[in-house]
Structure 1
Amino acid sequence: MSLNRVPAGVGRVGSACSCSCSCGCRTRRPRYDSDLTDAQWKVLEPLLPVPLSQTSLGGRPEKHYRRTMIDAIFYVVNNGNKWRDLPADFPPWQTVYGLLRRWCHEHATTDLVDLLRARLRRASGRNPVASAGCIDSQSVQESAEGVVGIDTSGFDPHKKVNGRKRHIITDTLGLLVSVSVTPANVQDRDAAWCLVRHAALRGLTHIWADQGYLGDWITHAKALLGTTIDIVHRIPGTTGFQVLPRRWVVERSFAWITRRRRCARDYERLPQHHATMVHWAAIIQMTRRLTRLPQPTQQDPKQPL
C-alpha cells in the first residue's frame, strides 16, 4: 500500500475536488485526445490517492485541480513530448513531474494499476484477483539524446537493440500485473524471479512463458512461491512469426504499451521512471476500456477499495 493512502481509522473529510487553484486549471476546457472524458474521470477519481488535506490528519490543500494534473501526465505519456514542452494550459511542468515522481516512489501508481485491473476484471465477469498470466520481455531502443545512463543500459545481440529491456507479466486478459526494467543484455530468466515473486503476491499461481525462461529457477518458483511456470514451445518445423497459445496475450499488451509514444523509446534517465511510464500507459488503456463496459451498481465486498 502506498504511503499517501489514508491510514486505517482515519476519516475522510471535505470535497474530493477541493484545491486552492489560482491558475484556472479547474475550469480548463479539454482539447487534446489524451484528456479524460467525464465518464473516464468518474471511474478514475475514486481510485486516486487521497490528499491528506481531505482527511482528519489535515495538511495543505493541493494547489492544482487533480483532474488537470492527470490530464497533463496523460498528455506526456500519450504524445511523448519533453516535460518542459508541456502546453501552457496545464499546471507548471515541475509540479506535474513532481507528482508523478512522488507517486512512483510511494508505489501509488502500482496501487492504481492493481485497483483498475480488479475493477476491469470484475466488470468483465472475471474474478477480481487473477490466478494466471503470461510473462515476456521487450527490448527498447534508447533515445538519441543520451539520457539513459551507461550503468543501466546494454546491448541485446538477439534483437540488435542498444538500451533497456522491459519485462512484464499480464493476466489472461492482457492487463498489466507487474513490470521490471533492466539493461537490454540481461537474460529473460535472470530477471524473471523478482517479477514472478511480485506477481505471486498479487495472486498469480500459473504463468506461461517462452523458451527463453527455461532454467532451474522454475523449480524454485514452484517450491518457494507456489507458482507454476509453463513453457510454451514453438511448433516444430515452422519458421517466422506464429501465434502461440496463451503467449499471444502478452504480445498484444506490448502493442498497447508502445502505442503511447513515451514508451516507444526509452527517454527516462532512471529505470524506475521508465517502469512508471509503462504503468501510466496501462492506466490509460484500462481506464478507457473500463469506461466502455457497464459499471456495477452495487459495491462487491470482496472487491479491493
Structure 2
Amino acid sequence: MKYLVTGGAGYVGSVVATMLLEAGHEVVVLDDLSTNGDTGIPAGATVVRGRIHEAAEVLDDSFDGVLHFAGYIANGESMAKPDIYWDVNVVGTLSLLNAMHAAGVRSLVFSSSASVYGNPSELPATENAITRPTSTYGANKLAADYAITNYCTAFDIAAVSLRYFNVAGAWKDASGVWHGERHDPETHLIPLILAAANGDRGALKLYGEDYDTPDGTCVRDYIHVADLARAHLLALANQQPGEHQIYNLGNGNGFSNREVIAAVERVTGLTVPFKPAPRRPGDPDTLVASSAKAAAELGWRPEKPSLDDIIADAWEFYRHG
C-alpha cells in the first residue's frame, strides 16, 4: 500500500511513517520542515518539501490513503497567533481534503486532539463528552473534525480521527534509531523538564499554580508515542467508506505538572529547577481520557502506560537520540 504522511518529519508523524515502512508499505512524506528540520525523516520514505496547502501537487490516484499530522500544536501559542493556526490547521486541512477528493483517495487518519473537550464536565472524557475548546488550537481541531465528517458523508471517504491526550516518550525502530521530540521551539512539558534537569536551560517555568486540581497545577494524561503510533495502523485497518470514526487515545490516568517533575527526578536522579509563572491562556485544568472505545473497536491498549517508563524512554532519547 502507498500512503501520504503529512508532517511525517515531525515527532508523531515520523514514528508512524517508520512503522508503516517496517510493515512493508510505501511512504511519501509531505513536510515543510519548519519545526523539526529534516532530522526526523524516516529512512526509506520519499520526501516532498512543501506546505499542507500544496497537497494537490503530490496526491494522485496511486495513493491508498493519507495520514495527516501536519499542523501547529501549542495551545498557548495558538491564542497569540490565531491567524497562522487557522490558516495551517483548518485551511490546510481543507486543502488536503479537496486534494483527496480530486485524486479519488478515500482513506484518512487524522491527528486530532483532546483539546477539543476543553474542561470536560466528566472524567475520564469519552468521545461523547461535550466539545467546548478553551484554545484556538482546540477549536482548529474541532473544525477540522467537522469538515472531515462532511467530506466522508458527501464523498464516501473512510476516516478516523484519533484524539490524542499528551504524547511523550521515544521509540527505537528496528534499525536501532531512536525517534523522539525535537520541536523548535520546544513547548512540551517532559522534554522541557529533562532539559532543565540536565542543565541545558534555565529553571523550568511552571505555568499556573491555581488550577482546580489537588496541587494547583494542570493534570494531564500521558501516552507513549509508540502506543499512539500503533493506533494509527490499527485505524487504517478498521475504516468504513462514508464513515468518520473518532477515538480518544490516552492511558486513563492523570498526572499533575508537579507529579511529572517528581517522576523526572525519580527516573534521572537529577534535581529539576523550576519557578512559578502565570497561567497560559487556553490551558484547561484536567484532561484525562477514556480509551474504552479504541480498546473495544480497534483492539488497542497501551503497552507502556507507566509514566516512569515513558520518561525513561524520553530520557534515553534526550541523551543518545
Higher relative strand content: 2
TM exceeds 0.5? no
Which structure has the larger Rg? 1
Q: When the two structures are superposed, what TM-score results if normalisation uses the length of structure 1?
A: 0.29
Q: TM-score, normalised by structure 2?
A: 0.28
